[in-house]
Amino acid sequence: MQHDFLENNPVASLLTKVFKSPLSANASHDAEYEAWRDRFMRKRLDVGLWIGLMAFLSSSLLQVSNWLFRPGAFEPEWLRSQVSIELSLLLCLLLQHSKLGRRYPSLVFLAFYWSVTIVPQVQDILSGVAQPDILVWTIMFFGQATFTPVRWYLHLVAQLGVFLYFFGVNTALGVTLSSPGWLDPPVVILYFFWVCFIGNLSVYLYEQLQKAEFKARWDLEEAYAQLEEEQKLSESLLLNVLPHSIATRLKQNPKNLADSYTNVSVLFADIVGFTELSSHISPWELVELLNQIFSEFDALAELHQLEKIKTIGDAYMVVSGLPEPRDDHAQAIADMALDMQRAIATFNQKTGQNFRIRIGIATGPVIAGVIGIKKFIYDLWGDTVNLASRMESHGIPGAIQVTRETYQFLKGEYLFQERGKVLIKGKGEMTTYLLMGKNPGDIEDEKSQN
């Protein structure tokens, strides 16, 4: 019922607009705009009140100067009027900085408006003759429209209040109404009609412009925020594909990137029996199992600060010593391989599977770079990469097979079993080694250091 009353009663609807809290807006955009307009109004009102107060104080000082030095020009009624307005403006300043004024700046606006236009009329009522103050009212109507151009309906309410008071109170009290000698009443009415119309129209147009500008800024900020989120997402996706330093270089120079490294260690791993399993379980189950295993491997690569290169089916490739070179590249890749064996054993215990992993490691020079313009990847090339792949493919299920070069890097810190001569495709016979674990003495040293 209350809603129907407000909808069908234009006066009630207008008063609701005047005194409503900006926080009552439903849409966040409208609420932000209302809050912004209120902040704008409070700032303008604060400056306007001080300017108004100083203007009337200067007029009072002029009358005091006349009283002291030019008694013939002194007008006591004018001084009393000025002082009453100054007191009213001081009260408006107190209201401006009160909790009520901060919440409802519209009240301060109306109080400011009526302090200048209505307060002097009280003296006319007491004198028994009322006359519209063309000079003060015009300055106030235009001044507020240009200095505080907010909410056209506030200006309309303020102007109506002036005329309702002037005609209503004076008529009710039987005060004689008069107009300036040089203007007839119809001319005065027409004059103030156009003054108010022009003022309100300018405020309305300015308010529409401000709303449009605010919405444009709002949309622009939202666009920038969305662009920033998309850039972060793109950055995250890029870092999932490329190492951070390579991604940075690629953004600065999108041409082909390639670097050569003297000593790195490359690991290939293959899950034995996974291909046969794929023919017995659903694709979803297959992918889920593989995702669980490779997610564990990814965590281990991050733990040992290694660079995952790619996965091909159920094969996993990781490298140590690039893109940032490191002296312990062989040790880091060995620790990764041993942890991968433990991760597979733990996975089998949890899932009841019987997977084994075959791992091959080679150490030596490689070339690394980014290839392609679509779905590009960071990849490795060179004899070391081929040897690591052969170490895996010619290895033993459940074992870690390494080349002689890798063995030379690790033999003092890790336990090995010489496998002997192995016929390697494309290489002939090669002496390879099986990494069995870490040297117990080194494990004790690490525990003591930790």
- In this structure, the chain runs to a length of 450
pLDDT cut 90: percent of the chain above it = 18
Higher pLDDT, 311 or 125: 311
Question: For all residues of the chain together, what is the average pLDDT?
Answer: 81
Confidence class for position 235, pLDDT limits 50, 70, 90: low
Q: What is the pLDDT of residue 440?
A: 77
Residue by residue, DSSP assigns 118-174 as THHHHHHHHHTEE---HHHHHHHHHHHHHHS---HHHHHHHHHHHHHIIIIIHHHHT
Residue 2 has pLDDT above 50, yes or no: no
Q: What is the pLDDT of residue 278?
A: 73
Residue 256 has pLDDT above 80, yes or no: no
The CATH topology of domain 253-449 is Alpha-Beta Plaits (3.30.70)
Note the pLDDT tens digit of each residue in 189-216: 888 889 889 888 988 888 888 888 888 8
Confidence class for position 179, pLDDT limits 50, 70, 90: low
Note the pLDDT tens digit of each residue in 286-296: 888 888 989 99
For 398-411, what is the mean pLDDT? 91
Mean pLDDT is lowest, of 122-131, 311-320, 383-392, for: 122-131
Q: What is the pLDDT of residue 4?
A: 43
Q: What is the pLDDT of residue 351?
A: 84
Note the pLDDT tens digit of each residue in 343-394: 999 998 888 888 889 999 999 999 888 766 666 777 888 899 999 999 998 8
Q: What is the pLDDT of residue 433?
A: 92
User: Terminus-to-terminus CA distance in the chain, angstroms?
Assistant: 75
Confidence class for position 332, pLDDT limits 50, 70, 90: very high
Cβ atoms < 10 Å from Cβ of 244: 12
Confidence class for position 313, pLDDT limits 50, 70, 90: confident
Q: What is the pLDDT of residue 300?
A: 93
For 164-183, what is the mean pLDDT? 75
Note the pLDDT tens digit of each residue in 264-280: 999 999 988 777 777 77
Confidence class for position 237, pLDDT limits 50, 70, 90: low
Amino acid at position 7, single letter: E
Whether the full predicted model's pTM is greater than 0.75, yes or no, is: no
Q: What is the pLDDT of residue 25?
A: 37
Give the dihedral of Cα atoms 36, 38, 43, 44; nearest 10 deg. Answer: 110
What is the C-alpha to C-alpha distance for residues 353 and 347, in angstroms, rounded to an integer?
Answer: 8
Q: Collapsing DSSP states into helix, strand and coil, what is residue 78?
A: helix
Structure tokens at 102: 């901060």
**CA separation, residue 360 to residues 237, 301, 379, 411 (Å):** 29, 16, 18, 16
What is the C-alpha to C-alpha distance for residues 159 and 137, in angstroms, rounded to an integer?
Answer: 9
For 427-435, what is the mean pLDDT? 89
Confidence class for position 339, pLDDT limits 50, 70, 90: very high
Q: What is the pLDDT of residue 231?
A: 74
Confidence class for position 8, pLDDT limits 50, 70, 90: very low
What is the C-alpha to C-alpha distance for residues 362 and 407, in angstroms, rounded to an integer?
Answer: 9
Q: What radius of gyration, in Å, describes the C-alpha atoms of the chain?
A: 43
For 139-146, what is the mean pLDDT? 85
What residue ranges do the domains of the chain occupy?
2-224, 253-449
Peptide bond into 149 cis (omega under 30): no
What b/e readout covers 425-434, taking b as 16+ CB neighbours within 10 angstroms?
A: eeeeebebbb
